[in-house]
Chain A
Amino acid sequence: MATDVIMPQMGESIAEGTVTKWLKKVGESVERDEPLFEISTDKVDAEIPSPTAGTLLEILIHEGETVEIKTVVARIGGAGESAAPSGGAAEPAKAPARSAQAAPAPSAPAAAVAAPSSGIATREERVRTKSSPVVRKIAAEHGVDITQIRGTGSQGRVTKQDIMVHVAAGGVATLAPVPTLAPRVSLAASLPPVPTMAGDRVEPMSRMRQIIAEHMLASKQTSPHVHTLYEIDMSQVDALRRGHKERFLAQTGGAKLTYTVFMAKAVIDALHHHPVVNASIRGNEIHYHGDVNLGMAVALEDGLIVPVIKRAQDLSMQGLAKAITDFATRARSKQLQPDEISGSTFSITNPGGFGSLIGLPIINQPNVAILGMGKVEKRVCVIDDMIAIRPKMYISMGYDHRLIDGAVAEQFLSTVTGILENFPETAI
């Protein structure tokens, strides 16, 4: 007697299926469990095995047709048999339904749990297998996070050599920084609900905007901010810019000798003389950073981002200019890597670029200070009791009064001012 092949139920809430392909033609023979046809439901394509061995006598539902589950889609019989008369109702086919779906199912739980004995589920265990106990001890001694290091040992294991090379290259900086931020108060939780008024347009914040909002709020909650302002005579810088503009451009292949480049250089040198301004606070400890990782704020179309020039103290002015230009370009095209926007020790921002006389910026945590540059313009001033006109720029420094006192801030800015007003030509 012919066997009905029915549309199987592929899930509890699935009520129909579409035949997408017949793998056998009418008249062809088929083995039991051999793939007979394919169906699709939503994004699943399933291969359905034949419930029995025999010859495919009749195809009732063709490719592209959608029918309810349990509908008879075909009939299989012995050779020489004819199909049952059409119009016969499908039997409440419990048995064929199971066989159409059932794999000779191996006990799946055993298979699923068949992980090799090194069943590595957690990060801790993965760290352990990538290094030996000796190596892990050395890593801990140097405060190095093993998972950040490329291992050159067998199967990617981290060796003692890898750690020592990493440390020698100043690798302590790669310690995942523990931000000393106050517990973040979620914006929503702290304020009364904003009433919606007629004519309002509501837009959810982009992820970048949310991040900026959180950082700014947390920074103000963490650091008691004080701002101090200085005015710098930019005559020397202007003269040097004019004199070296072309040569510099040729040397860097397109990165310009801007005020920002001069400022970066001055700041790096000044930080060398005032290391506490290049530090971070962790609990009751002051962490003086060996490198100057300079955060340079970049305004984006819909936000801002602060890429970090790592080990800026090792760069020449040309190197700084190239890094600044590269970061600005890649920031705008969303091509920065996560490790390029973290790890700063001091930051610079340039509201003057938009025409501002000066800004009072918010510290980029976990730094303890941020320097804001104003616009450069010619101003009337008094020199040696005579009226003069000079190009001038206001700078402001926002600093964390937990660590930096007024006197220290003044000294630091004095140093920066002194460097810029007497900028050595040989540095370019």
Chain B
Amino acid sequence: MQEGMVRLRREERIPDTLLLLEHPHVITHGSSAKKEHVLVDDGERARLGIEQFETGRGGDVTYHGPGQLIGYPILALRDEERDAHRYLRSLEELLIRTLAGYGLEARRHDEHTGVWVGPAEVPAKIAAIGVRLSHWITSHGFALNVSTELSYFETIVPCGIENLGVTSLQQELGTIPAMDEVEDRLIEQFGIVFERDMSEQRMQE
């Protein structure tokens, strides 16, 4: 679906678009994925109800599932935006600002792209990022753990990082934030960080 949207965007038949969605349980492989970062065999994975896919995004192995807010910005990067690492930093900025609205001090990690919370010695990842560029049009994007069932991350080495943990808004706040509200706040921050006017549409299935 994303390839189609990138094509449409390239042909200017759709404007810059931010897709927000949740996935059923799935493990995905990015272009730098290592097979050994999937810790369960196919039988166990099937028993847990987790699908598996290769994707065209950058990054290693990650898990998506219910309670995780996934965002795919399909943006035709403007001239001054055409810098892959700058785009990654902007996505991090977007997530950091959204989490700040919940009173969480999220931040970057020098060595690992993504958004982290917790003490400096043992940060935990609250959002993962993996992006694809085609003719400077973006696809894929980020996955923010809102009320994700974190035990599913034990089936993989998330993003190939062995020794650091994974967390969620629910875990950090002690309550389950409403997904609607997280989406609204994220959309608001997206408009600010990416300097675009936002308007909402529900997609037909």
Query: Which positions in A face B, CB cutoff 8 Å?
Result: 10-14, 18, 20-21, 33, 35, 38, 40-47, 49, 101-103, 105-106, 108-109, 111-116, 118-121, 123, 126, 203-204, 206-208, 210-211, 300, 303, 305, 334-338, 340-341
A43 neighbours in B (Cβ, 8 Å): 30, 57-59, 88, 113-114, 129-131
A43-B114, A204-B119, A335-B170 given; 8 more Cβ-contact pairs under 8 Å: A10-B133, A44-B58, A103-B136, A106-B76, A115-B199, A121-B198, A207-B173, A334-B170
Q: Which residues of A contact B12 (CB under 8 A)?
A: 106, 111
Instruction: Report the Cα distance A335→B67, complex, angstroms.
Output: 12
CB < 8 Å: which of B57, B184, B191 contacts A45? B57
Separation of A121 and B189 alpha carbons in the complex (Å): 10
A14 to B89, CA, bound (A): 13
Which residues of chain A are near B174, meaning CB under 8 Å?
207-208, 300, 303, 305, 334, 336
User: Is there an interface contact between A334 and B58, defined as CB atoms closer than 8 Å?
Assistant: no
**CA of A250 to CA of B56, assembled, Å:** 56
> Which of B19-27, B35-43, B44-52, B77-85 lines the interface with chain A?
B77-85
Name the 4 nearest CB pairs between A and B, nearest first.
A11-B83, A103-B135, A45-B58, A10-B84
Taking A20-B31, A112-B196, A340-B175 as contacts, is the C-beta distance between A105 and B136 under 8 angstroms?
A: yes
Residue of A nearest to B129 (CB): A43
Q: Which residue of A lies closest to B55 (CB)?
A: A45
Q: Which of B170, B176, B200 has most A Cβ within 10 Å?
A: B176
Residues of A within 8 A of B183 (CB): none
Determine whether B178 belongs to the interface, using a CB cutoff of 8 Å to chain A: yes
Within 8 A of A (CB), among B157-198: 170-178, 184, 188, 191, 195-198
Contact B76 A337 (CB under 8 A): no
Give me 18 A-to-B residue pairs in the complex whose CB atoms sit less than 8 angstroms apart, sorted by A's number.
A12-B85, A41-B84, A42-B58, A43-B30, A43-B88, A45-B56, A46-B132, A101-B136, A102-B136, A111-B9, A113-B196, A113-B197, A203-B119, A210-B103, A334-B171, A334-B174, A335-B176, A338-B175
Closest to B16 in A: A112
Q: A11-B85, A43-B129, A47-B133 are in contact. Are A207 and B59 (CB under 8 A)?
A: no
Binary per-residue interface labels of chain B (123-140) against chain A in the complex, 1 for a CB within 8 Å, 0 otherwise? 000000111111111000
- Which residues from 64 to 106 on chain B have a C-beta closer than 8 Å to any C-beta of chain A? 75-79, 81-88, 103-104
Closest A residue to B169 by CB, please name it: A207
B residues less than 8 Å from A42 (CB atoms): 58, 84-85, 88, 113
Question: CB < 8 Å: which of A49, A300, A303 contacts B135?
Answer: A49
Q: Select one of B78, B134, B136 contacting A109, CB under 8 A.
A: B78
Check A211 against B103 for contact (C-beta < 8 Å). Answer: yes
The B1-39 residues at the A interface (CB cut-off 8 A) are 9-10, 12, 15-16, 30-32
Residues of B within 8 A of A109 (CB): 78
**Chain B: interface secondary structure?**
loop
CB <8 Å contact, A116 and B58: no
Task: Please indicate the chain A residues that have their CB under 8 angstroms from the CB of B130 in the complex.
Answer: 43, 45
Residues of chain A lying within 8 A (CB to CB) of residue B32: 18, 20, 40
CA distance in complex: A42, B184 (Å):
29
Question: In the complex, what residues of A have CB within 8 A of residue B135's CB?
Answer: 33, 47, 49, 103
Bound-complex Cα distance A128 to B15 (A)? 24
Closest to B86 in A: A11
Find chain B residues with CB under 8 A from A338 CB: 175-178
Q: Is the CB of B134 within 8 A of A46?
A: yes
Chain B residues closer than 8 Å to A335, beta-carbon distance: 170, 176
For residue B170, which residue of chain A has the nearest CB? A334
Known: A12-B86, A21-B31, A101-B82. A44 touches B198 (CB 8 A): no
- Residues of the A chain whose Cβ atoms lie less than 8 Å from the Cβ of B81: 108
Q: How far is the CB of A5 from chain B (nearest CB, A)?
A: 16
A18 and B113 CA atoms in complex are apart in Å by 17
**Given A40-B58, A120-B198, A210-B103: A112 in contact with B133 (beta carbons within 8 A):** no
Q: In whole Å, how far is A311's beta carbon from the nearest beta carbon of chain B? A: 20
Which A residues are CB-close (under 8 A) to B58? 40-46
Contact B200–A112 (Cβ < 8 Å): no
A361-B113 Cα distance, complex, nearest whole Å: 45
Q: Is the CB of A45 within 8 A of B199?
A: no
Q: Is the CB of B199 within 8 A of A116?
A: yes
Docked CA distance A103–B7 (Å): 12
CA distance A179 to B46 in the complex (A): 50
Known contacts A207-B173, A303-B174; is-contact A47 B132 (Cβ 8 Å): yes
What separation, in Å, do the CA atoms of A266 and B185 have in the docked complex? 42
